[in-house]
Structure formats: structure tokens, C-alpha cells
């Protein structure tokens, strides 16, 4: 058997198309342009690439994009003052502070300073609490994208056995919450889990978010399972170049799984598209407008 490859690039393009149409409708019928502010502190090369991609796709979707690039020595006081200003800015509906931050800045303090209604990354403690208690929340983009791909492939997820490997606040925990919301039976595995291979091999849905290259191989996977690989790892190849791989050993797992997301081209593109979706959601909630799906 060879797994269906879930094309995250194509799914993201479809989602961006739907978002662009809704943005157009918001503009023409309500005179509102959704706006996303992205704050980057320092010059981390990977973060710069992410911020550029986000700004380009925001503009392509017809939204306003506001970029704030700050020196890496920026004080917490100055960063919090900028966030206050963005919280109050009516043109800004979504605020994203690119992580990681330089060591002298507290990520928790900075993220929790963002107005929860504008917290399009869904990392604010109020949004984590809302998600955990089943209330309307801004949902972190990566798990949101994973759920959309799972629903697109499997339809109703009720009753399925789901295993999430990884328990970070930005991926593993919200992923488990979302799967629970979809009525899956959810297990969260992590670095201390015993018999992790056996636990994963029971999963109808296996989400890998451990940040360890090519770790999950065919022995961990139930035949026919849907495998979502969140991992993004840069590894060196024998010829001295680097390439991106996931947490799943794609070549072995694709022979067993029913469907699998590739790296790159799987979860990554959906994450950025979900940022746009969250900005649109934030904008419609702030203005009390409802748009047809
Ligand atoms: P973290 O490092 O914050 O969390 C990793 C989690 O995996 C921890 O809970 C850790 O367990 C667990 N873990 C580590 N090693 C093992 C192991 N050998 N067996 C089982 N569990 C293990 O990572 P993130 O959640 O931030 O990211 C995970 C991956 O997803 C990374 O590769 C990251 O680059 C990628 N990523 C991709 C995104 C995308 O858009 N596609 C977005 C965000 C992240 P413990 O808690 O016990 O330490």
C-alpha cells in the first residue's frame, strides 16, 4: 500500500482563495479592511523568512499588513508600549509577535500583553483557557491547519483514536484539545511516555510534533492511519547540503499509512493560511459582522 499524500500547499491555496473572497466582501459591503500587524524583534534569519511570507500572503489576501521590525536589544518596556499601541489601533485586528524572542524578553509577558481578541497566534492564556473549556477562542494556527486537513480527508472524526506526540503549548496541547473537541479519543505522548511505539501504533490519527527528525517509522504506524507531520527539521545531507525533513520517516511510513503530509508542503503552508483565517475571524468578531462560510 502507498499512502495518499495530503497536499498542504493545495489545501492552503484553496483556503487563501476563500479568505480573499471574504475579505473582498467585507470591504465592499461593510467598508472594513482586516489588518495584521507583525512584530519582529532581532534578526533571526528563519524568523525573517516567516515574517516576509506572512506579510506577502496578508497583502495578497487583500488585507492590510503592518510590519514592525525592532532592534534585538529593544527593552521589554518599549515592546510592551508598541503592543499597547497596536491593541488600541482600529486598523489592526490581528497582532503577531514572531517567536522566539531574544532571551532578555519574557515570551509569556509579551504574549499576554496582546489583547486576546487580536491574538491571532492563539497563544494568550485567555485563548488557551477558552479552547480548553470549549468556548470561542483564537486557535493556534498550526493545530488549526492540521484539523482542517484531517476534516477534509476524513470528514467526521468522532470516535477515532488520535495520538499526538509532543505536549508544547503551541502545538501538542492545543492539537489534543482540538481533537477532543472533534470527539476523538486522545492520547498525548511525550519524551517520558512508556511504550510510545505501541501507543502510536493504535492510532487512527497520528500527529507528530516532537521536533526530532525522521523519528516515527513504519513500526509506529497502524496500517491505514492518517499521519500528520508537524515537524520541521533542517538536516545535513551526505553531500554537505541541508534539507528540511519532518519528525516522521516519510519513506517508510508512506508504505503503511493511509495518508500522510509531506515536509515541506504539508502542515507549513496551512499554518500561514490559518494565520490569515484567524485575522479575518478576529476582524469579524471585533466588528460584530458575520460572513457566510
Ligand atoms: P517543543 O520542542 O516545544 O516540544 C516538543 C515536544 O516533543 C515536547 O513535548 C517533548 O516532550 C516531545 N518530545 C521530544 N522528543 C521526544 C521523543 N523522542 N519522543 C516523544 N516525545 C518527544 O516543539 P514544538 O511543539 O514547538 O514543535 C514541534 C515540531 O514542530 C518542531 O519540529 C517544530 O519546528 C515544528 N513546528 C512546525 C510548525 C509548522 O508550521 N509546520 C509550527 C510550529 C512548530 P517533553 O515535553 O517531555 O520534553
pLDDT tens per residue across all 293 residues of the chain: 799 999 999 999 999 999 999 999 999 999 999 999 999 999 999 999 999 999 999 999 999 999 999 999 999 999 999 999 999 999 999 999 999 999 999 999 999 999 999 999 999 999 999 999 999 999 999 999 999 999 999 999 999 999 999 999 999 999 999 999 999 999 999 999 999 999 999 999 999 999 999 999 999 999 999 999 999 999 999 999 999 999 999 999 999 999 999 999 999 999 999 999 999 999 999 999 998 76
| pTM of the model as a whole | 0.97
* Cα–chain center distance at 64: 21
CA 135 to ligand 1 center in whole angstroms: 26
Which protein residues touch ligand 1 with a CB less than 6 Å away? 142, 165-168, 170-172, 189-192, 196, 209-212, 215, 230-233, 267-268, 271
Is residue 82 helix, strand or coil? helix
Edge-to-edge strand ranges of the sheet holding 94-97: 64-70, 35-41, 94-97
* Phi, psi values for residue 265, rounded to 5°: 100, 10
The fold for domain 141-267 equals: Rossmann fold (3.40.50)
- What residues are labeled active site? 54, 98, 121
Q: Round to the nearest angstrom and report the end-to-end CA distance of the chain.
A: 36
CA 196 to ligand 1 center in whole angstroms: 15
Residues of the chain with CATH 3.40.50.10860: 30-116
Q: At what angle do helices 8-30 and 267-287 cross, to 10 degrees?
A: 20
Residues of the chain with CATH 3.40.50.720: 141-267
Domain 30-116 has CATH 3.30.70.360: no
Amino acid at each position: 500500500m502507498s499512502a495518499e499524500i495530503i497536499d498542504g500547499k493545495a489545501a492552503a491555496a484553496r483556503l487563501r482563495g476563500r479568505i480573499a473572497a471574504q475579505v473582498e466582501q467585507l470591504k465592499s459591503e461593510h467598508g472594513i479592511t482586516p489588518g495584521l500587524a507583525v512584530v519582529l524583534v532581532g534578526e533571526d534569519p528563519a524568523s525573517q523568512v516567516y515574517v516576509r511570507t506572512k506579510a506577502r500572503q496578508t497583502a495578497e489576501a487583500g488585507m492590510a499588513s503592518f510590519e514592525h521590525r525592532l532592534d534585538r536589544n529593544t527593552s521589554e518596556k518599549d515592546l510592551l508600549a508598541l503592543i499597547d499601541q497596536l491593541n488600541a489601533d482600529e486598523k489592526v485586528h490581528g497582532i503577531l509577535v514572531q517567536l522566539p524572542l531574544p532571551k532578555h524578553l519574557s515570551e509569556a509577558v509579551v504574549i499576554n500583553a496582546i489583547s486576546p481578541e487580536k491574538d491571532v497566534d492563539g497563544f494568550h492564556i485567555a485563548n488557551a483557557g477558552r479552547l480548553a473549556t470549549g468556548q470561542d477562542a483564537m486557535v493556534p494556527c498550526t493545530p488549526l491547519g492540521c484539523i482542517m486537513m484531517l476534516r477534509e480527508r476524513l470528514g467526521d472524526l468522532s470516535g477515532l483514536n488520535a495520538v499526538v506526540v509532543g505536549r508544547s503549548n503551541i502545538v501538542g496541547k492545543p492539537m489534543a484539545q482540538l481533537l477532543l473537541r472533534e470527539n476523538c479519543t486522545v492520547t498525548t505522548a511525550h519524551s517520558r511516555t512508556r511504550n510510545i511505539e505501541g501507543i502510536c501504533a493504535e492510532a487512527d490519527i497520528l500527529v507528530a510534533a516532537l521536533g526530532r527528525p525522521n523519528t516515527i517509522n513504519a513500526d509506529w504506524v497502524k496500517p491505514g492511519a492518517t499521519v500528520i507531520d508537524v515537524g520541521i527539521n533542517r538536516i545535513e545531507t551526505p553531500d554537505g547540503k541541508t534539507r528540511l525533513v519532518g519528525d516522521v520517516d516519510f519513506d517508510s511510513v508512506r508504505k503503511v499509512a493511509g495518508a500522510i503530509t509531506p515536509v515541506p508542503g504539508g502542515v507549513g503552508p496551512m499554518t500561514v493560511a490559518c494565520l490569515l483565517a484567524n485575522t479575518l475571524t478576529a476582524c469579524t468578531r471585533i466588528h460584530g459582522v458575520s460572513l457566510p462560510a
